Amino acid sequence: MIRSIYMLNWRVFRMLAVFCCVLLLPFSAQAQKGKGNKRNTKPQKTVKMADVQSLLDAYRFSEAEAELQSQLKDAASLEPNEVSTKQAQMKAAIKGMDMLSAAARVTFVDSVVVHRNELAKVYKLSQDMGTLSFLPYSYVNSLEDLRLTHEKCDTIKMQKMWLSRKMGGGWTEKKLLNGTEMSDNASDVQAFPFMMPDGATLYFAAVTEEGMGGYDIYVTRYNRETDSFLKPENIGMPFNSPANDYLYVVDEVSNIGLFATDRRQHPDSVCVYAFIPTESRERIETANQQSYINQAKLNSIAETQTDMQAVAAAKERLRSIRHDTPKSKQEEPVEFVITDDIVYKSLKEFKSPNARRIATEWKNKMEELRMTTKELEMLRSSRQSPRSRLVKLEQITLRLSQSVKKLAVNMRKAELGIK
């Protein structure tokens, strides 16, 4: 009987346990549901500003733009300084996408890392290209009658570019370059001006809202009719980047270009790249997207080198500039034929400033034609020279020859006052 009572009690206990479980089941489900809602409503992890900058530095501009658009939708929850920073990053992302899509194909031949105060060690120019000085910076043209500098403007306390000319035995009072501003924003910083031998083409660096960040390199041309420069244009990638890019120089005599950048460098270090200038802008041609980005970022100069003979010739010209000796700097006799009876031996003999400018350009083109012809002869003598390179050099030589003839005619007309 005791066993019967015990079994009865056990059955009752089990029924009560099942009843309690059934009763508690809705509450358990509700709790699980609530727990699930809490997990779903947890804020998603957002990309920090530093991470967005990493996307920009990696040239993943479209991803950076999408992320910034998402974050700026809830701008009310951000601090004012965060909003302004993200808006600046958004401009950089949009600018980066535009510049990346139009990145130029450029052949780079060398790179040297130096302290930013030691640029004079690697910035060497041919004798007819003028003189660069550093600390403080200045550029004086080959005729030594024009000087460009950068220094702070007393009125707005921002760094701007200045020009002075030599009159008589001294320099005129410096004046601001007119027309080089990218916008009406007076806070733009401008520096490192370099004038090409044509006396019209000006390269410089600027920190402006129009750029990608830091210094960007711009180009403009002087308009003699208005006595001012045309609106500057950003020269794009691979020369410009989210870092500081500046001091763009083209040595027409040696056909070598230089520019400086602190991208991927330690503080106070700068990398100076040497490249082969081109007359026309060509897009990077590759089906490999990563290779395209690498060339636009200038990750490796080897990826830009498709014509090794041209690279070898450029390296030799660069070596000649950097290790030039006083003996090699002696000028070869140059004659400027004005008429059958008038022949100048020096640029200083020109009476017309315009004729002197044209004569300088003619002389530089003559030297460029001489070097190009020499390279063409070398390639013709080599049985392994690529046909495409030969054809291209022949076309360049023809254009230079035509340019030299035209400049010679214009030089004579300008000196004789013939219109």
CA nearest 161: which of 114, 228, 115? 228
Contacts of 256 (CB under 8 A, 6+ apart): 109, 250, 274, 275, 276, 277, 314, 317, 318, 321
Domain ranges of the chain: 1-41, 49-99, 104-322, 336-416
Mean pLDDT estimate for the chain = 83
Given this model, what pLDDT does residue 391 score?
A: 81
Given this model, what pLDDT does residue 23 score?
A: 41
Given this model, what pLDDT does residue 372 score?
A: 79
Given this model, what pLDDT does residue 334 score?
A: 83
Contact 357, 199 (CB under 8 A): yes
**SS3 state of residue 272:** strand
Note the residue count of the chain. Answer: 419
Mean pLDDT calculated for residue range 138-152: 92
Percent share of the chain, pLDDT over 70 = 83
Tokens of residue 78, six digits: 């951000």
Helix 61-72 and helix 80-101: axis angle, to 10°?
150
Tell whether pTM > 0.75. no
Whether the predicted pLDDT of 386 surpasses 70: no
- What is d(CA 414, CA 419) in angstroms, rounded to the nearest whole number? 8
How far from chain centre, in Å, is Cα 172?
Answer: 32
Given this model, what pLDDT does residue 51 score?
A: 85
Kindly provide the b/e burial profile for residues 158-174, where b requires at least 16 CB atoms within 10 angstroms of the residue's own CB. Answer: eebbbbbeeeeeeeeee
Helix 49-57 and helix 80-101: axis angle, to 10°?
10
- What is d(CA 188, CA 60) in angstroms, rounded to the nearest whole number? 27
Contact 257, 249 (CB under 8 A): yes
Mean pLDDT calculated for residue range 8-16: 47
What are the tens digits of pLDDT across the range 285-322? 888 989 999 999 999 999 999 999 999 999 999 998 88
Highest mean pLDDT among 48-57, 151-160, 283-292: 283-292
User: Pairing mode, if any, of strands 131-133 and 138-140?
Assistant: antiparallel
Contact 359, 198 (CB under 8 A): no
Among the residue ranges 100-104, 167-171, 207-211, the one predicted with the least confidence is 167-171
Percent share of the chain, pLDDT over 90 = 44
Whether the predicted pLDDT of 77 surpasses 60: yes
Given this model, what pLDDT does residue 371 score?
A: 77
